[in-house]
Amino acid sequence: MSSLFHKDKPRYFRSVKPVYNESLPKVYIETYGCQMNSSDSEVVASIMQANGYSITENLNEADIILINTCSIRDNAEVRIWGRLENLHIEKKKRPSLLVGVIGCMAERLKEKLIERDNFVDLVVGPDAYRELPQLVRAAEGGQKGINVLLSREETYAEISPIRLDKNGVSAFVSIMRGCNNMCSYCVVPYTRGAERSRDPHTIVREVEELFANGYREVTLLGQNVNSYGWENKEESVNFAELLEMVARVNPSLRVRYSTSNPKDISDEVLYTMAMYENICNSIHLPVQSGSTRMLELMNRGYSREYYMSRIESIRNILPDCSITTDIIAGFCSETEEDHQQTLSLMEWLKCDYAFMYKYSERPNTKAARHYKDDVPETVKSQRLAEIISLQGKISLASKKKDIGKSFEVLVEGVSKRSTEFLYGRTSQNNVVVFPKENLKIGDYVYVEITGCTSSTLIANVVAE
Ligand code: 5AD
Ligand code: SF4
């Protein structure tokens, strides 16, 4: 197969969207897991496109299928194995089809993925995506390839991702990779390696390019954005400073970020958010448990009281800020009392939305090595159900409080229910559905909230 560019020096496209070329081999990328994985898939698309492959949205015409995988909980991996089984049937029908596993599961399972007869042709971990074209070429020649080396430096800093999003308005921008936190339940430090921050100037350039291409919202991504830190001989940049640099790209560009760790979120970041109207008033601050004993076992680095004090700072400095969180039910040795502490913290916090999970033991983590996964499955399910039910009530009440208020919304797409309606989000990251009128995707509009469900606000347009 021929490469579009000189083999040793791939050039990265300035275009932000896939360039379709019928005559080139086609790559289909399927993404599971977090926003970081979605962002990585866009880097992978860019690397493949710069090396003579065309990106397709149609699986049936693909020559190569790359599955970008997640290992965070056992059920994520079970789902992906199911998908690989389907693709195995597809491979029997089309023997030239190549299937590659990339991302966290590739890193965790390594050659175990290749050992399974004719399921997978290549396995590439999150820090080895520059090697993908070479490994795909080897696989085209019948040689199974694997590269799961983790790096202390790789940030794909200068690669312009090919945007795979549908709306052309909001984009993810990765600002760092890896994680140094070592929460005892979490597989991420093992699958994504040590934390490293990306050159802020390449971040700003990427954001400027997005704005020039019509994007109006960026979400800065990292496992723990508050510990972002980059320096060379002349300058050093922390997260608050980076946030300011990005906010200054254009006042019409919304800036969001995820994920914050409660132990590291600083007042400096909160004051920077207060200073720039285009930095959205929304913070995702995973608490995981309301019990200090559990938080210690989880190695989170904060207590219930410290988490509450960070929330108080957010509410003082950013009174309109929405807060979302993550909660794990049934971690090792969790008692009914610990669980009640989680419920009481939720009542106090009244967060706008929560991602809620049952603890799932991950091989080789500190928890798997040192603690017993001893909360019975039925108890985990019962506690999770109680957490979900409580959050449902809190989310609905928080939506109802918005009825009668006005918000500025960025128009992001056409409502799934009716083409006469559009949807967008408030600064607080709440989804709003409103009549289409003469609005286009990418416009800002003022709306007044007239009603809600537990997940969506309904509104009228008040000013375009
Ligand atoms: N089991 C259950 N939930 C987990 N999370 C991370 N690891 C696990 C695990 N082993 C959750 C945490 C984290 C979110 C991304 O996933 O709540 O914040
Ligand atoms: Fe993302 Fe973690 Fe899943 Fe990897 S394991 S894809 S970092 S959620």
Instruction: Indicate if 406-462 has the same CATH topology as 26-147.
Output: no
Q: From ligand 1's centre to the CA of 186, what distance in Å?
A: 6
Find the ligand nearest to 178 CA.
2
Query: In the predicted model, what is the mean pLDDT of residues 250-264?
Result: 97
pLDDT confidence bin for 432, thresholds 50/70/90: very high
Give the pocket of ligand 1 (CB within 6 Å).
Answer: 72-73, 185-186, 286, 288, 326, 328, 357, 359-360, 362
Q: Provide the 8-state DSSP code for 365.
A: S
Specify the fold of 26-147: Rossmann fold (3.40.50)
Q: Which residues, at least 6 apart from 33, have a Cβ–Cβ distance to it below 8 Å?
A: 68, 69, 70, 72, 76, 103, 104
Q: What is the mean pLDDT of the chain?
A: 94
Q: Which residues, at least 6 apart from 257, have a Cβ–Cβ distance to it below 8 Å?
A: 175, 219, 220, 221, 222, 225, 243
Q: From ligand 1's centre to the CA of 38, what distance in Å?
A: 18
Residue 321 annotated in ligand binding: no
CA nearest to 126, candidates 225, 221, 37: 37
* Dist CA 265 CA 284 (whole Å): 11
Q: From ligand 2's centre to the CA of 154, what distance in Å?
A: 17
What is the Cα gyration radius of the chain? 23
Sheet containing 54-55, strands listed edge to edge, beginning at the edge strand earlier in sequence: 54-55, 26-31, 64-69, 98-103, 122-124, 145-147
Ligand 1 atom at minimal distance to the Cα of residue 362:
10
Domain spans of the chain, in order of start: 26-147, 406-462
Q: What are phi and psi of 84, to 5 degrees?
A: -65, -35
Q: From ligand 1's centre to the CA of 360, what distance in Å?
A: 8
pLDDT confidence bin for 464, thresholds 50/70/90: low
Residue 62 has pLDDT above 70, yes or no: yes
Answer yes or no: are the C-beta atoms of 265 and 285 closer than 8 Å. Answer: yes
Q: Is 174 in the pocket of ligand 2 (CB under 6 A)?
A: no
Answer yes or no: are the C-beta atoms of 270 and 317 closer than 8 Å. Answer: yes
Q: Is 104 in the pocket of ligand 2 (CB under 6 A)?
A: yes
Residue 430 has pLDDT above 90, yes or no: yes
Ligand 2 atom at minimal distance to the Cα of residue 104:
4
Comparing 14 with 131, which gets the higher pLDDT? 131
Of 45-49, 110-114, 162-166, 283-287, give the lowest mean pLDDT range: 162-166
pLDDT digits (tens, 9 = 90+) for 110-126: 999 999 888 999 999 99
Largest CA distance in the chain: 64
Task: Tell me which residue has its CA closest to atom 16 in ligand 1.
Answer: 72
pLDDT digits (tens, 9 = 90+) for 170-190: 999 999 999 999 999 999 999
Q: Ligand 2 pocket test: which of 31, 32, 36, 69 has the largest number of ligand atoms within 8 Å of its C-beta?
A: 36
Ligand 1 atom at minimal distance to the Cα of residue 185:
10
* Dist CA 292 CA 4 (whole Å): 56
Residue 12 has pLDDT above 90, yes or no: no
Residue 2 has pLDDT above 80, yes or no: no
Q: From ligand 1's centre to the CA of 328, what distance in Å?
A: 7
- CA separation, residue 459 to residues 47, 110, 241, 322, 417 (Å): 42, 49, 35, 19, 15
Among residues of the chain, what percentage have pLDDT more than 90? 93
Q: Which residues, at least 6 apart from 89, have a Cβ–Cβ distance to it below 8 Å?
A: none
Q: Which CATH number fits domain 406-462: 2.60.40.10, 3.40.50.10320, 2.40.50.140, 3.40.640.10?
A: 2.40.50.140
Q: From ligand 2's centre to the CA of 125, what distance in Å?
A: 12
pLDDT digits (tens, 9 = 90+) for 357-382: 999 999 999 999 999 999 999 999 99
Give one DSSP letter per residue of 108-167, joined into a string: HHTTHHHHSTTT-SEEE-TT-GGGHHHHHHHHHTT--EEE----SS---TT--PPP--SS
Find the ligand nearest to 384 CA.
1
- Token pair of 429 as six digits: 């990251």
Residue 1 has pLDDT above 60, yes or no: no
Q: From ligand 2's centre to the CA of 223, what distance in Å?
A: 9
Find the ligand nearest to 326 CA.
1
